[in-house]
Amino acid sequence: MSACNSFLCAVPSNLRHSIARPVVFCDFDGPIVDVSERYYQTYRMGLVAIEQQHRLGSALQPLSKAQFWQMKQNRIADIEIAMKSGLSAALFDPFMQQVERIVNHPSLLRWDRIQPTAQAALKYFRQSGVRLVLVTLRHPRQVQEFLQAQGLTHLVDEVYGACDVRAAHANRVAQKYELLAEAIAQQQTQGHLTQNSWMVGDTEADVLAGQSAGLSTAAIACGVRSASYLQQLEPTELYSCLLTAARGVVKAAIPQAA
Ligand SMILES: [Mg+2]
């Protein structure tokens, strides 16, 4: 693996010297991975830890998975979710510290699941001659481990990730901007085609980073944000999952392949 600077890690591709292909930039959590159960389990464990540390008995009332995920998808602030669960404002910071401490623990990463259409979508990109480049706030090692476990490594050409394992949960927009700009510049240097590139992702970080870089943007509503929330960001297109996005993006980026 190449050296890390402040946050960027690029995993060199075996296909680096292959012929120039049109590039599609794609996020990882959301379009490819369903993180909902891991985030929910982390939230539940965070509440239990605070309950025990502060001897609250069973004063807290965890939300159901459906309630929790609907709030996350509509970008309700974490403090509001915590207070709806019975946590006092004074205990919010210790709660979030606990959540951030454990969310990337291997015992919780096992809750991550592949999205139902992700494998078919990655195959579709490959068959269409697209170079698929992942741009994610996850650590590249976690990405590679997941792709390997799913047998998908050969369908992804390159991975740009964040060295800080806490970055993905925090979903920092500025960090995604910088990572995408770096990925575009490096793909161009390698001779790949980015003139008609798209940025595909499930949050405001993806849509805003893509817009800022002058790319077309495909928002995916099966991840951490709802369709109605994503629509307000005015992405080029809004899709229900990665497979419908792959078909639309290939059609727009490579008309002859559709
Ligand atoms: Mg995402």
Q: What is the pLDDT of residues 171-194, one digit of tens each?
A: 788 999 999 999 999 999 999 999
190-214 pLDDT, tens per residue? 999 999 999 999 999 999 999 999 9
pLDDT average, residue stretch 85-95: 93
The rounded Å distance from CA 185 to ligand 1 centre is 21
CA distance 148 to 57: 42
Read off the pTM. Answer: 0.88
Identify whether the C-beta of residue 82 lies closer than 8 Å to the C-beta of residue 95: yes
**Cα 240 to averaged position of ligand 1 atoms, centre (Å):** 14
Radius of gyration, alpha carbons of the chain: 19
Give residue 179 CA to ligand 1 midpoint distance, Å.
Answer: 14
- End-to-end CA distance of the chain, in Å? 35
Contact 94, 56 (CB under 8 A): no
Mean pLDDT along residues 233-246: 98
Q: What mean pLDDT comes out for the span 72-76?
A: 93
Q: Which residues of 3-18 are buried (b: 16+ CB within 10 A; e: fewer)?
A: eeeebbbbbeeeeeee
Ligand 1 geometric centre to CA of 223 (Å): 7
CA of 160 to the centre of ligand 1 (A): 13
